[in-house]
Structures are given as structure tokens and as C-alpha cells.
Amino acid sequence: MRARVPRSNPVHLLTLGGDRPKPEFFSMLRRLWQSAMIGLARSASLKGLMQNNRTAAAMMQRYVAGGTAGEAVATARDLAAKGISVSLFYLGEYVETREGIDEAVREKLAAIKALSDAGLDIHVSVDPTQIGLGVSSDLMAENARTIGHALADAARGPGRHCLMLDMEDHTTIDATLALHDDLAAGGIPVAVTLQAYLKRTEADLQARIQPGGMVRLVKGAFVAGPEIAHVGNAAIKENSRKLIDLMLSQKARDCGFYPVIATHDDRLQDYAIERAKAIGWAPDAYEFEMLFGVRTKLAETLAASGHRIRLYTPFGRDWWPYGIRRIGENPASLPLLVRSLVSR
């Protein structure tokens, strides 16, 4: 087993009276915190303030690989020298206008061309709402086909080429899965993201463990009620292990399924590695994925140990909504953000 990479900035939860709060209590806190982060992310005035703040912009450079596809690919080349691949994501969340949707499509196409010209994996991630789901399913599908066909045409050389569909909140799941199945039927190299916190994910995953299938498993950044979601970190981690077992099962290996395990939890990574060894998976038959700028040393350790590792790598000027969610996941960074506002 590989050596552990220490976690940075641990956050300790203190309890009163010696009684441990129930998972539902922490779930409620997460909902409140998430609502606050979403409110900050959607604030146009705060976005303008922060994106013109040099201190805040410098802080977010940790999580964003440049303003253009070309700058992101330059970063991708540096990572490739370390054995690390990327999935490029053009920033732009809560897109509600046709102009914003058209811009997102253009930038996805620019990323495909830049990756192709650089001889790297042509791997891009797409939020369905970013390409039109908030307007209509037909517009989303039309734009997805445009991006998918461009990727398929460019993916002539060796590599793991893929249009990866991100999964947003639970209300978008059925539309996203339907889009994935439509693109796959059309011969586009496409994969979909599933979220371990949701109870329905086991069935959704089982349906996609098939020849040529590819699924990215994430914890899920959203919070939902116990009627549809597992409540508490312990329950979500238990379900994550169960889903990893399915992704790395004998059936999945034999049919040519490609698992993508997206986690920064080195214990879950170790669990997946041991499971893969036990079943006989080749190291290049599955991969791990992490976020650009998060636990970088751990990603480098995985790559140096011979494991496939890919970083979800955002680029673009509209970094505030994405960046504030990273702050939300790492509250230790919040004081620095506040200082940047005060010192403006």
C-alpha cells in the first residue's frame, strides 16, 4: 500500500455535552452552508466585485488553469510531463441566456481543438445546464451533438478521448442520462457522472456497466433529503465502497467497462486499488480523477505509483461561481477571501 499524503487544513467538528450529533444534524448544516454558497455564487454584483479583485483572483489561480483554452492546454502539457491527464472544463455556471450558452459551446470547441493540436487526450467536461438544459432539452441535445461530433472527428490518435457529462442536482439526472444514452447510440465517445450520495445511483450504474461504458463516480456536491439521498458522511462513504465494488467487479472488467473513480479520499483510493488488484484489473483499465489545485501531492503520488490520474481542470474568466464552491468545500480558505474584500 502506498504511503499516505497528509491532508492539509483539517477542519475539526466540536460537539457539546459528549453526545455525538446525528447525521441529520450535519446534513441540515450542510444544506444551510450550501444555500449560502449558492447565493454567493449567483450574486452578479458580488461576482463583479470579486472577479475584479486582484487578491481574490490570485487566490483562485490555485483552482483555475488560465483564462483561455490555450492557457489551460499549456498547464495540461506540464501535467502530462508528470504522467497526469486532464479533463478541461470551460467555466460558466447558471447559464440562462442564449448568448452565454453559445459562448460555452464555442469554448468547448476551442478546448477540443487545442487539446488535439497539442497531441493530448481530447477530454472535456460539460454541464448540461451550461449548454442549454435550462432553456430546453432539445437545445441541450443539439449543442451536445455539435460538441460530441467535433470531439469524435478530432479523436483520431491514441489516448482516452471523451465527452464527459457532469451531473448537477438531482432534478437534472433523467435528462442527463437520456442525453448520454442518445450520444452513445450515435457513436460519440461519451461518459456520464454519477453521484454516490444518491440512493438511485446503484441502479443507474448497473444499467451502464456494459461494453464500451464509462462512468465517473463522484461523492456529489449537493444536499438532498433522506427520501432520495444517503445522509451523513459515513453512509455516503459506505455507498461509495459499494459502488466501487460494482465498478471494479469481474462483470465490469470482462465486458470492457471503464471506471473513473473521482475522489480526494486516499482511503477510498486505496480501497479501489486493492479491489482492482483482487479482481485482476490492469492499472491502465481504470483511472482516478481529482480537482485541479486540490491535494496536488496526492495526485502526483498516484501518477508516480503507476496509476492513471486525471485532473478536472477549469479555465475561463468567469471563475467566481466555481471558486466559491471550492471555498465552500474548504472553509479554511474563507478568512483569506474575506480579507481580500476588506482590503480592496
Domain ranges for the chain, please list them: 64-340
What is the chain's mean pLDDT, rounded? 87
**Burial of 129 from C-beta contacts in 10 A (0-12 / 13-18 / 19+):** buried
Query: Per residue in 179-196, pLDDT tens?
Result: 999 999 999 999 999 999
CATH of domain 64-340: 3.20.20.220
Q: Write the DSSP string, 282-307.
A: -GGGSEEEEETTSSHHHHHHHHHTT-
C-alpha distances in Å from residue 250, one per residue of 109, 245, 255, 307 = 37, 9, 9, 20
In the predicted model, is pLDDT for residue 18 greater than 70? Answer: no
* Of 45-54, 194-203, 210-219, the least confident: 45-54
User: At 324, is the pLDDT very low, low, confident or very high (cuts 50, 70, 90)?
Assistant: confident
pLDDT at position 51 = 72
- For residue 321 the three cell numbers come to 461561481
pLDDT at position 124 = 99
CA-CA distance, 107 to 316, in Å (whole number)? 9
User: At 328, is the pLDDT very low, low, confident or very high (cuts 50, 70, 90)?
Assistant: low
267 given a catalytic annotation: no
- Residue 237 CA, distance from chain mean position: 17
First to last CA, the chain: 47
More confident residue, 158 or 281: 281
pLDDT at position 286 = 98
pLDDT at position 31 = 66
Residue 20 CB: number of other CB atoms within 10 A?
9
CA-CA distance, 143 to 239, in Å (whole number)? 34
Residues above pLDDT 90, as percent of the chain? 67
Residue 222 CB: number of other CB atoms within 10 A?
18
What residues contact 245, with CB distance under 8 A and at least 6 apart? 275
In the predicted model, is pLDDT for residue 13 greater than 90? Answer: no
216 given a catalytic annotation: yes
pLDDT at position 10 = 38
CA-CA distance, 214 to 265, in Å (whole number)? 21
More confident residue, 44 or 195: 195
* Of 40-49, 89-98, 174-183, 203-212, the least confident: 40-49
* Of 222-231, 257-266, 278-287, 320-329, the least confident: 320-329
Active-site position among 216, 275, 310, 326: 216
More confident residue, 248 or 338: 248
Active-site position among 121, 166, 266, 318: 166
pLDDT at position 8 = 42
pLDDT at position 141 = 98
Segment 67-78 mean pLDDT:
97
pLDDT at position 173 = 97
